[in-house]
Amino acid sequence: MATTLSRAICLSILIGSVVRAAGGLGQDPAPEPARPTFSTESDLVVLHVTVFDRHGDPVPQLNQGVFHIVEDGTPQTISMFSGEDAPVAVGLVVDNSSSMITRRAMVMAGVMAFAETSKPDDQAFTIVFNEDVRRALPPTVGFTSNATLLQASIAALPPGGKTAVHDAVIAGLDHLDTAETQKHVLVVLSDGEDNASRQSEDEMLRRAERSNALIYTVSTARLDTSVGNERLLKKLAHGTGGELYTPRTERDVIAAFADIAGKIRRGYTLGYVPTHSAHDGTYRKLIVRALVPGMRPPVVHVRDGYLSPLHPDER
């Protein structure tokens, strides 16, 4: 069943930095978008958008008037707008299998760089997995903004065993559904190789498509052995509007986590009620532009569309 968000279809679109012509932690160009399904009691569509100039720098302090939304070729009227930093619910899903033994220091350095950006209103949690998937915070703590607690929760379990990436991602998305904040992000660190999941790759990808979460993936495959499944990590990230990072050194890992932490903070929130009001389960193509006087058209990153909710009688 699609994720139900109170009073809104929430397309959580926190957009990464503009794809540069070269390098930048090995990010790949954005592929065709996935088609997530959301159900709701209201027709309000909420988009989280980030805007970059032609140099890849974020463009701050834009007002509502510069944004234009087109759904299936029809202009829409923006009825909700915010340019303020909002609290984020974020899950760190960290591979702790045998392949991570030699990468332990790099992983902890990256997690520390990310955890230290937490703000008091954020809701964060950790999942550590090998063939077993564990929520690593204490059982009575669903979420925290305490950086020390986040780091300690990942460091507590020694690496070893097989790898259940599919199961871990699904568990992370399920827990994100319990968060109270509107922005949902999952950060997955792994080499992508799965040899122990009970659930299939297709089941994981379908669960991601139904979620409103933006997923970033950090591949450890190139850190030493070049063994892993970056194809899976790329598909998972790009299918939700996120990015794949392919660091080669500890410095790159730290930079990747720091970059992700910065990206989930930036952006604008736009909301509109579609002129096409039918609840028919069809795919709605979205185009969002920002037209700033005196400035070359900036780059707007946003998921390209969504599946409209079905009428309850048609589900």
Domains of the chain by range and CATH?
3-84+267-314 (no CATH), 88-263 (3.40.50.410)
For 163-184, write each residue's pLDDT tens digit: 999 999 999 999 999 998 878 8
Beta strands 283-290; 67-71: pairing state: antiparallel
For 269-306, write each residue's pLDDT tens digit: 888 999 998 888 788 888 999 999 988 999 887 777 77
Distance CA 111, CA 217 (A): 13
- CB atoms under 10 Å from CB of 168, counted, come to 29
**How large is the average pLDDT for residues 71-87?**
90
Residue 26 predicted with pLDDT over 50: no
Residue 39 predicted with pLDDT over 70: no
The pair of structure tokens assigned to 102 is 């030699």
**How large is the average pLDDT for residues 250-265?**
88
Amino acid at 25: L
Q: φ, ψ for residue 111 (rounded to 5)?
A: -60, -40
Residue 20 predicted with pLDDT over 70: no
Residue 164: name the closest of 115, 200, 121, 137 by CA: 200
Distance CA 159, CA 190 (A): 12
Burial-class residue 279 by CB neighbours within 10 Å (0-12, 13-18, 19+). middle
Residue 69 predicted with pLDDT over 90: yes
Q: Can you give the pTM of this predicted structure?
A: 0.74
| Concatenated DSSP letters of 202-252 | HHHHHHHHHS--EEEEEE-TTTTT--S-HHHHHHHHHTTT--EE---SHHH
Instruction: Supply the pLDDT for residue 36.
Output: 37
Instruction: Supply the pLDDT for residue 42.
Output: 65
Residue 94 predicted with pLDDT over 90: yes
Q: φ, ψ for residue 168 (rounded to 5)?
A: -65, -40
Instruction: Supply the pLDDT for residue 231.
Output: 94
117 vs 176, more confident: 176
Instruction: Supply the pLDDT for residue 313.
Output: 56
* Residue percentage of the chain with pLDDT more than 90: 40
DSSP 177: T
**How large is the average pLDDT for residues 78-104?**
87
DSSP 313: G
Residue 19 predicted with pLDDT over 80: no
68 vs 116, more confident: 68
Residue 141 predicted with pLDDT over 80: yes
**How large is the average pLDDT for residues 202-208?**
88
Contact 213, 173 (CB under 8 A): yes
Confidence of residue 12 (pLDDT cuts 50, 70, 90): very low
Instruction: Supply the pLDDT for residue 25.
Output: 32
Residue 251 predicted with pLDDT over 80: yes
> Distances in Å between the alpha carbon of 104 and those of 94, 111, 178, 239, 265?
11, 11, 30, 28, 27
Beta strands 268-272; 78-82: pairing state: antiparallel
Least confident of 5-9, 81-85, 114-118, 301-305: 5-9
Q: What phi-psi label fits residue 25: left (phi over 0), alpha (psi between -120 and 50 degrees) or beta? A: left
Confidence of residue 32 (pLDDT cuts 50, 70, 90): very low
104 vs 291, more confident: 291
**How large is the average pLDDT for residues 20-37?**
36
Contact 93, 124 (CB under 8 A): no
The mean of the pLDDT values for the chain is: 81
189 vs 269, more confident: 189
